């Protein structure tokens, strides 16, 4: 029997381009459930039609209050899947190039999850967006500024991504900060104040 957490997880993964996870779960449910639950029946009748499958999952979730979904359990499943996929990547061809598909999965998962009320504001999910942005900047070789600004290249990006995946740590990834005021402006302000005293 699919739990609300299962249904939300499979919905997010289906929207993120991983239908095989739902396929495996549905095959198992068809063998194990007796009688079949409504969501399993709806999914079975949907066949390979992705829109029909999403409709069946959404129909189920519409009847589940947000406070009845364990959002942390869904996030745990997402991280478990991400770690499994990340570790299965052959990184010998160049790190940034090899994780391109993985980063696309992270971005699409963020896009799907950001529209789910019970996951709104989850900082771990929100970091998927930030790291996707910084992946693009790192890949394009856009300079990050001073070392104190955060991620400063491929190895630091990798360290930050792995800190998020394995330790669920927030990482300092902000490459921008305002330019310091020009020296002439500071001198002009000082001269204005010195004239008043």
Task: State the 10-residue block means of pLDDT for the chain, 197 residues long.
Answer: 95 95 96 94 94 96 93 95 96 90 93 90 83 80 53 74 87 46 48 54
Name the residue range of residue 184's domain: 74-197
pLDDT for 178 equals: 37
Is 114 in the same domain as 155? Answer: yes
Structurally, the chain folds into a number of domains equal to: 2
pTM, two decimals, is 0.80
Q: How high is the pLDDT of residue 173?
A: 52
**Domain closes at, from 46, 69, 92:** 69
- Last residue in a domain, options 15, 35, 69: 69
Residues 51 and 84 reside in one and the same domain: no
Q: Are residues 89 and 178 in the same domain?
A: yes
**Same structural domain for residues 93 and 115?**
yes
143 with 163, same domain?
Answer: yes
pLDDT confidence of residue 181: 41
- Can you list the alpha helix ranges (DSSP code H) found in the chain? 4-15, 19-32, 38-46, 50-62, 71-87, 95-98, 100-113, 123-140, 154-162, 183-196
């Amino acid at each position: 029997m699919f739990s609300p957490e299962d249904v939300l997880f499979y919905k997010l993964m289906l929207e993120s381009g991983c239908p095989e996870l739902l396929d495996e779960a549905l095959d198992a449910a068809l063998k194990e459930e007796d009688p079949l639950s409504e969501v399993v029946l709806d999914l079975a009748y949907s066949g390979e039609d992705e829109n029909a499958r999403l409709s069946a999952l959404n129909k189920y979730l519409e009847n589940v209050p947000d406070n009845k979904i364990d959002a942390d359990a869904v996030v745990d499943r997402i991280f478990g899947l991400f770690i499994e996929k990340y570790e299965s990547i052959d990184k010998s061809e160049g790190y940034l190039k090899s994780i391109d598909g993985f980063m696309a999965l992270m971005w699409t998962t963020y896009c799907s999850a950001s529209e789910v009320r019970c996951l709104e504001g989850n900082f771990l999910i929100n970091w998927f967006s930030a790291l996707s942005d910084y992946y693009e900047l790192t890949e394009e070789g856009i300079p990050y500024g001073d070392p104190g600004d955060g991620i400063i290249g491929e190895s630091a990006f990798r360290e930050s991504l792995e800190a998020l995946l394995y330790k669920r740590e927030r990482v300092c990834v902000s490459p921008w900060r305002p330019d310091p005021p020009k020296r002439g402006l500071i001198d002009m302000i000082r001269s204005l104040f010195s004239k008043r005293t």
